[in-house]
Structure 1
Amino acid sequence: MTDNSPDMNQVHVFFHEDMLKHNNGYGVFDTFEDPGFLDVLEPHPENADRIRNIRSILQRGPIAPFITWHEGRPCEIESLERFHTPEYIKELIDADSAGGEIICAGTRLHPGSWAAALLAAGSAQQAMQYLLDGHGQLAYALVRPPGHHAQPTQADGYCFLNNAGIAVELAVHQGCKRVVVLDIDVHYGNGTAEGFYSRKDVYTISLHMNHGSWGPSHPQTGLTDECGEGLV
């Protein structure tokens, strides 16, 4: 029997305006640096305008009638620590208390970034919870900072908290026996894969270009030999 209730025919989008307050500023690509001889500095690749444009498409584009909006809420620390280590979470909290710092290459915690990261993780959790509660079939967390490079113990690639990983842990915590994560991006979803590398209850699939490791924060290669240990 098909459920034709309004909830089932909508895409439920979870978003909060304060995620736009994470401001990476300007520089040369993602360096946060001004070399002193450029008339125009570039906005950091991970900037609020990306999300503003996605939001405007959802609000005014052809699928607008099929969108239901929900306000995101910040994630609780307890939920973060299902995916991330307490030591790493403390590192981020301390960086926020100190007014921000560069966590790794290209990834800086600015004033307002931690609150935005909590909203991003919380919105992803809400989207998952909405489906777990049977309210709909499609949920989308429109969030930033992004998350799929964040590993259990470190930030990477503009990501502080692994939003998808935290949402998956919620599903497992509430009784889901198997969860599949499909990550489609130009870059390897290394953080999500790392978090579930030895797990039998979560299967991660990443479709990405062949870019290899890019430094200490991203030791994973994304090659086919990184196939996990949980299914062996």
Structure 2
Amino acid sequence: MNLTGGLLWHWRAWRSDAQWAQTRAEIETWLLAQPIEEEQLILIGASAGWMMSPAWLSRYKSIQTWDIDPLAGPLFKMRHGKALRQHGTALNCFTGDALRMLPTLLKAQPRAAIFFDNVLGQIRFQTHTIHQAENRLQTLTQALRGRHWGSIHDRMSGPVQRTGLTTAAPVAHTWPMLMVNEAQETQKWLARMGAQSPWLDHLTGDVFKEGTELTHMAWPMKPDYWHWLQAGWVRP
């Protein structure tokens, strides 16, 4: 099941440019604040780079993008290719399931940083049970030990109140993972977003190791259905 691919997805992303603008800006601010420790980047789940920052991408000397959607690569080149060429960044786009090929990719490029672009939160839809999804996520993160990698992904998603709600209502928060009152602050954050029960857990709560500094952002994917994004970097 590909929830972020195909013609319908790209049409929705194009139509939602203004609605997603603040989230895209918050993602760019967060990405640019991260130190670049490698010259190569493997970008997994890249789609057309709808939420990616060209200013951040151009900080790398070479980029590989991977997506199971055959439209993703050509559209990524259309959106970001010119800017990357101007900065001397080599870009190669591939179609394939990089999650299943991850050990091979890691071995082929031992010095490349890995970034998952809104893909880990979709794994629960690609397995038959919650247990299988959790095991697959654990296997992926174990394979990344000793590597410089990051991810932005769905933590939860669900309906919101539309009355009086704007994309500017929620703000990004950076919380240590073991914050004492994390649950309480999370509930306040969701309330400020206008979240209405029930919300879907994307099973990504344990993707990052304890102590990883996380940033949470609201993404108004649809006017009445928002996503809570979780972002973080893990360094060797």
Structure ID, larger Rg:
1
What is the TM-score with the length of structure 2 in the denominator?
Answer: 0.30
